[in-house]
Amino acid sequence: KLTLDFTQPGANVSPMLYGLMTEEINHSYDGGLYAELIRNRIFKDNKTKPEGWSLVQQDTASRASIKLIAADPDNVPFDERRHSINSALTTCLRLTVAKGGSRVGVANEGYWGIPVKPSTTYKASFYMKGTGSMQFPRRPGMPARPQNATPAPVIENNTAGPITVTIESNDGKTVYATGTITLEKSTFWKKYEVTLTTAANVEPTTDARFVISTDRTGLYYFNLVSLFPPTYNNRPNGNRIDLTQMMVDMKPKFLRFPGGNFLEGPDFANAFPWKTTLGPIDNRPGHKGSWGYRPTDGMGLYEFLMWCEEIGAEPVLGVYAGYSLNGDHVDAGPLLKPYVEDALDEIEYVTGDKSTYWGAKRAADGHPEPFKLTYVEIGNEDWFDRTNSYDGRFKQFREAIEKKYPQLTCISTITDTQNPDLKVTGKKPDVMDEHYYRNSWEMFANASQYDKYDRKSSKVFVGEWATREGAPTTNLHAALGDAAWMTGMERNSDLIIMSCYAPLFVNVNTATSTAPKAWQWDSDLIGYNALTAFGSPSYYVQKAFGEYLGNKIVPATAINIPTQNPPLSKRDSINGTKPAPVPVIFYSATQDDKTGMIYLKVVNASGKIQPVEINLKGLAKVDKKATIVVIKGAKPEDTNTISEPKKIVPATFAIKGIGTTFSQKLAPYSVNILQLKIQ
Ligand code: AHR
């Protein structure tokens, strides 16, 4: 029996309650949201060979090879030096065609395939040059060729002329789109651009590659090879349309970026390098990421901000706080000062007007208007540093930020409840970021945890959380755990001012003979391959919770809630509780005081139908008709996949006979959102 008490004033629902969290993990950007299709476009992501690249030789009569040429004066043979374009583009790919044939070229496999769609125009661009010898022409003042250098083979230079660019099947038999550039007779780099359009009747596929080819001898050099399909809002260097639309549909209030571990980086040198992520992609070297592959940084600080704008979300900016994943930290004091200055510069880039140094840079990058910013998070999960260096680091960052930007609120990553042994001393943080990765049973057991929090404590940002069941995306049981947990956050949203699920994205490709498995973290919200995307059951729960939300909490209580026993294997891991039964029903109610709509969310985590009696105490009259949105499935393991993307999706039903007391049967394993209207 559930009572919604309209005789008591409810607290306000936080206007920023539901948002998104993102970082470069699981190929979230490269091979994900960032629409670039070429893998390893600047040839720096290499283990033993140019990752993602291969030689194309149409007939056996030709003689050809490919080789990476990296700017390393100590290790590169004399003849292979001086191929850098700038300090970012220092490694290139050389195609040597000693004997031409019908077609010789270089192929890129994309991020687990190049997506081919009908009637689609792709923009290709690349730096290229062609020579007939490995020896670069000698310029006045250039050092003489060393006596002992191996003589450079001279190959006839036939490079000038047409170069073919194709999107084609991996066996080379079907060409989906083709274009041509004319390579100049010049030994210097030039950037070429060409568009490729597919026919209306092509079947969508990921079994495709991108090829640049010739039929002539010579040495061909390539760098920054790029291929973009249409992007959201047609923004250059922009985002995938389908994934952006899925976020827009969630109506998120904020986006927490750039991490997560991606903010901290594996070491000091590879913390998120926001300054080298700005400007033309030609100036972005990328860096060593935190999740085992090298991000291009095509998704740079400017692109994060444009992403926020495109989905209507406010940035929640994480600034690097001098602590990295290898455990190194910079102590508070003079050594930390440059890091604090760097964060102040970053905030100026986001919020400064055109009269400021960094505000002017942002304007030059294409966005004259400052972005709205309320929250800055200092670091990420600094409680991993058991020396508690965060106490001093947080203070130093916070004082400098609040002095220059008094309108900003700094978020602490050490929290009273999760890290009681590690305190942020001095002025109490306004907001603390708590992270929870749990299984469904732990979520059920802890769904009321915030009912008990001290209201005098700092406000809480649940900046990362997920029910971790199912891989790579979560299943229905996880979605039930999420929904149970979210009712607890929503009921307490006077305290929980923001929440975001993590990770947001996963490229679901498994390993192939040439590419590794795409993801590093199980249990993610939105899955995709190069061609299509799908929401997990958790995605639909997130979306529905954000969509159906009032601005006031309606105090609610329940009696006679049935319970169930967690399976034996899960009982030990249930946080803070002895192996004990957990409730099967979870609920929260909010009201929109402008429209009179009541949103009652009720979760049935059991495999049985649960009848609920609902009493709207203090209301004289409600509309007799209402609707109910139901997310449910037959089995807790049910899930969505690329091949079955819509197995678990919300369905909306009309319900009749509503009064100030009524009963509603809840389907097994279901999340239910009743929409009632006060009259
Ligand atoms: O969400 C995955 C990782 O979990 C984040 O990078 C990190 O902050 C947390 O430990």
HEC profile of 261-281: HHHHCCCHHHCCCHHHHCCCH
- Which protein residue's CA is at the shortest distance from atom 8 of ligand 1? 260
pLDDT value for 538: 98
Residue 434 CA, ligand 1 centroid: distance in Å: 12
pLDDT value for 615: 98
pLDDT value for 611: 97
Q: What is the pLDDT of residues 571-593, one digit of tens each?
A: 656 555 556 899 999 999 999 99
- Which protein residue's CA is at the shortest distance from atom 7 of ligand 1? 260
Predicted confidence band of residue 64 (pLDDT cuts 50, 70, 90): very high
> Residue 90: is its pLDDT beyond 70?
yes
Q: Among 413, 418, 435, 461, which residue has the most ligand 1 atoms within 8 Å of its CB, making it the best to mutate?
A: 435
Q: What is the pLDDT of residues 405-423, one digit of tens each?
A: 999 999 999 998 899 999 8
- Which protein residue's CA is at the shortest distance from atom 4 of ligand 1? 260
Residues 293, 27: contact at Cβ < 8 Å? yes
The ligand 1 atom at the shortest distance from the C-alpha of residue 261 is 6
pLDDT value for 241: 98
Cβ-proximal residues to 597 (8 Å cutoff; 6+ apart), any chain: 550, 591, 675, 676, 677, 678
> Residue 436: is its pLDDT beyond 70?
yes
**Over pLDDT 70: what percentage of the chain?**
94
pLDDT value for 134: 66
Residue 566 CA, ligand 1 centroid: distance in Å: 26
pLDDT value for 155: 84
> Residue 296: is its pLDDT beyond 70?
yes
Q: Identify which of 63, 64, 38 has the alpha carbon closest to the alpha carbon of residue 51.
A: 38
The ligand 1 atom at the shortest distance from the C-alpha of residue 380 is 8
pLDDT value for 455: 93
> Residue 245: is its pLDDT beyond 80?
yes
CB atoms within 10 A of CB 206: 17
Residue 445 CA, ligand 1 centroid: distance in Å: 22
- Which protein residue's CA is at the shortest distance from atom 9 of ligand 1? 260
Which residues lie with the beta carbon below 6 Å from any ligand 1 atom?
A: 23, 25, 259-261, 380-381, 464, 502-503, 521
pLDDT value for 618: 97
- E strand spans, 85-148: 91-99, 104-108, 121-131
The ligand 1 atom at the shortest distance from the C-alpha of residue 291 is 6
Predicted confidence band of residue 70 (pLDDT cuts 50, 70, 90): confident
**Predicted structure pTM score:** 0.96
Predicted confidence band of residue 569 (pLDDT cuts 50, 70, 90): confident
Residue 465 CA, ligand 1 centroid: distance in Å: 9
The ligand 1 atom at the shortest distance from the C-alpha of residue 259 is 6
pLDDT value for 118: 98
- Provide the CA 553 distance to its chain's centre, in angstroms: 31
> Residue 137: is its pLDDT beyond 60?
no
The ligand 1 atom at the shortest distance from the C-alpha of residue 435 is 9
Residues 415, 357: contact at Cβ < 8 Å? no
> Residue 454: is its pLDDT beyond 80?
yes
Q: Could you give all domains of the chain from N- to C-terminal order, each with its CATH number?
A: 2-10+556-677 (2.60.40.1180), 18-31+232-546 (3.20.20.80), 53-228 (2.60.120)
Q: Cα(154)–Cα(132) distance, rounded to whole angstroms?
A: 6
Q: Please report where in the chains the tokens 């209306």 appear, as a residue.
A: 200
Q: What is the pLDDT of residues 624-661, one digit of tens each?
A: 999 999 999 999 999 999 999 999 999 999 999 999 99
Average pLDDT over residues 292-311: 98
Residues 549, 601: contact at Cβ < 8 Å? no
pLDDT value for 133: 76
Residues in the chain: 679
Predicted confidence band of residue 147 (pLDDT cuts 50, 70, 90): low
Residue 436 CA, ligand 1 centroid: distance in Å: 10
What one-character-per-residue DSSP string does 379-447 give? SS-GGG-TT-THHHHHHHHHHHHHHH-TT-EEEESS-TTT-TTS---SSPPSEEEEEEEE-HHHHHHHT
Q: Please report where in the chains the tokens 């001086």 appear, as a residue.
A: 82
Q: What is the mean pLDDT of the chain?
A: 94
